[in-house]
Structure 1
């Protein structure tokens, strides 16, 4: 096991040095490689290998892996700008999944294989069972992100164990699927599939770790896509002229945009709090796992609700042109529609918060809310 090293804290509200470096690096990279034409080509089936090669050259997939294992040793709060940039630029690659997989493999003491990785949580993505020899798997997983583009799968929830599985074996059959943005969400059938490596599940106090951390990643990606949508919408409102003035000067439209900006601000803050909680949970702080689950639920609810509002406001402002393939708005809004439902929808996470509050009862509700441990 390779625990994340403790690093000096930045001043309150100030990004750390590594956070600034990651943000500058990834923004420059994505701005150089991703545009509307690139995304349109991806949706047409042209997956550009250069994008993965470039992010791999910069060590981004191993950002959460300890330095002793060849990674950057970054904290969760330090990769927030990277997850946000994936959403802002709608980067079509399994970078978030690879980072999460690498983080858990590193914690479990397992070597990180080359190439992109995908993740799944048995019991949430489907049901996998260990064969009696504990070296093979049977079952089905559904809606596995980017499975067709990854050789390796990291799956948790197998009798509290973490498994690394080679997807390029005859015992695994893949049925192709996708989300609204044409990103792969595949179905995998396991018939005695061999396990490449198996270890006790790290962070055992976190229930369904890959599901929980996957929800955190999607919330942060939603945060980025929300900001991209707002930027596009404000720019268009200031450029589109009706009755002799930009439509952005209309009070009703300004109110819609202000409401959206407020919802995005809440989602951004919720994501940042959840990222800090992931740091605490990985550092083994008392109560860290409970706070992480609470904060991830809040982040996914806030980001999902903001996504619903953003799609409504943006498409109302743009009108008919925003629904056309020729305009780039749909590249952000279709990802908002997709990501808000992946790794649990906002309503599913809200239900968990509500059930926990009810279980706490009147005596435990307030303390649980303040301690973020419902």
Structure 2
């Protein structure tokens, strides 16, 4: 299933060719990230007037999907979302820095000061937050959002405890102790917190789809070549059923993400895709390891590169449960046609 044949093929080639050139550091694969910056891929779907390279959400999702398929350790989805928010606020991505991520925090307080705002509170387990030069902190405000641009190297009062998540991505706990954000680093965007969260959700779903595709590929190859009782594993009916089940899961997720893209990232379709992504990620990871047996948990086999990402991403940046609740709210909304229209939507992919 390809959403854009040309982008799919080019992205697949770029990510696969990195091969032995991987230069992973505590901040990710630096060499690959530089290649993506040179290509402008983090800024796909951003208007050229804002420093982007044009294209649409479908193109971007195809690239993010390829990054998940090839286990790329880069902040592609995070920087793309941050650039999209930044551009909506009238900024140019050239001023964003080499990488960025968007932060949401229920335990953050903003206090107005004469020259800006003072931020206090904490945010835990945010992927890439301690490894990128720019953080965009979001505050909901009357249906729109206010954004504070925080550059950790330049502010006082921000402590970052760096670690990694199960996927090996940089992951940090942040504590804001009277961090001052000047007026020239504050701006409003005509976006709600939900819209920003939905953007993150659809890109994360695309990345999960890529990792699912690779895990299924590894599994199909293993059961076709591994022999047991004098014949390939795939000849066993129980193995056939399990393999068929994760192929169906892969295709289900692909269809869900395609629908979200076809509707231009509509909230209901995005929530459905994200809820599906979390469930499929856990199911495929479990079955892939079951069919690989002991070899699947070794560092020597590449399966863990995909399944560790599936496990880490299933509830990131929002939990599967929260997405399911959003779908549930759609089901009981006064407009009782909303869920039916989502379920029966026959939209083709568009460039909206």
The TM-score by the shorter chain falls in which range? Answer: 0.7 to 0.9
Q: Distance in 2 between matches of 1:49 and 1:78?
A: 23
- For 1:6, the equivalent position in structure 2 comes to none
Does the CA contact (< 8 Å) of 2:330 and 2:338 recur in 1?
A: no
* Shift in Å, 1:103: 1.1
Residue 79 of structure 1 aligns to a residue whose secondary structure is: helix
Structure 2 distance, partners of 1:34, 1:85, is 14
2:64 is aligned to: 83
Deviation at 1:298, TM superposition (A): 0.6
CA distance in 1, matches of 2:109, 2:10: 38
Q: Does 1:253 align with 2:273?
A: no
Secondary structure of 2:251 counterpart: helix
CA contact (8 A) 1:143 1:185 kept: yes
Superposed CA deviations along residues 206-259 of structure 1, whole A, max 9, x for unmatched, are x43332221211111110000000000000111101122110121111111111
Q: C-alpha deviations, 1:349-373, integer Å up to 9, x for none? A: 112322443354xxx43x1212449
The whole-number CA distance in structure 2 between the counterparts of 1:277 and 1:137 is: 36
Q: Does 1:101 align with 2:87?
A: no
1:180 aligns with 2:180: no
Per the TM alignment, residue 93 of structure 1 is displaced from its structure 2 partner at its CA by 1.0
Over 3 Å counting, the alpha-carbon distance change for 1:315 and 1:119 in structure 2 is: same
List alignment gaps of at least 5 residues for structure 2.
Answer: 344-352
Give the CA deviation at 1:45.
4.2
Shift of 1:147: 1.6
Residue 299 of structure 2 is aligned to residue 317 of structure 1: no
> Matches of 1:49 and 1:82 in 2, distance apart?
18
Distance 1:156 1:208, change over 3 A: farther
Tell me the equivalent position of 1:146.
128
Which residue number corresponds to residue 350 of structure 2?
Answer: none
Residues 176-325 of structure 1 aligned to structure 2 (within 5 Å): 176-190=162-176, 191-195=178-182, 197-204=185-192, 207-278=193-264, 292-325=266-299
Deviation at residue 21 of structure 1 after TM alignment: 4.1
Structure 2 Cα separation of the partners of residues 163 and 25 of structure 1 = 35
For the aligned residue pairs, the C-alpha RMSD in angstroms reads 2.3
Q: Please, which of 50, 54, 79 is the counterpart of residue 73 of structure 1?
A: 54
Deviations 1:151-199 (A, max 9, x none): 1012222432123221212321101233211212211122223245222
1:278 counterpart SS class: coil
| Shift of residue 46, structure 1, vs aligned partner | 7.8
Question: For residues 321 and 294 of structure 1, what CA distance do their matches in structure 2 show?
Answer: 40
Map 1:343-354 onto structure 2 (within 5 A). Answer: 343-354=317-328
Alpha-carbon distance in 2 for matches of 1:298, 1:47: 30
Alpha carbons 1:177, 1:186 under 8 Å: kept: yes
Using a 3 Å threshold, how does the CA distance of structure 1 residues 93 and 14 change in structure 2: closer, same or farther? Answer: closer
Seen in structure 2, the aligned counterparts of structure 1 residues 203 and 278 have a Cα distance that, compared at 3 Å, is farther
Query: Which protein has the bigger strand share?
Result: 2
* Alignment coverage as a number of residue pairs: 334
Gap change, CA 1:371 and 1:309, over 3 Å in 2: same
Change beyond 3 A, Cα 1:72–1:21 = farther
Question: Hey, what's the Cα distance between the residues in 1 that align with 2:252 and 2:136?
Answer: 32
Q: Moved runs in structure 1, 4+ residues, more than 6 A?
A: none
Q: What residue in structure 2 maps to residue 120 of structure 1?
A: 103
What secondary structure, in the 3-state scheme, does the structure 2 residue paired with 1:141 have? Answer: strand
- In 1, Cα distance between the equivalents of 2:68 and 2:297? 20
1:368 corresponds to which residue? 338
Shift of 1:261: 0.9
Q: 2:16 aligns with which of 25, 31, 37?
A: 31
1:119–1:144 contact (8 Å) kept in structure 2: no
| TM-score (normalizing by structure 1) | 0.82
8 A contact 1:64–1:102 mirrored in 2: no
Displacement of 1:127: 2.0
1:167 and 2:163 aligned? no
Is the CA contact (8 Å cut-off) linking 1:121 and 1:208 kept in structure 2? no
Deviation at 1:203, TM superposition (A): 2.6
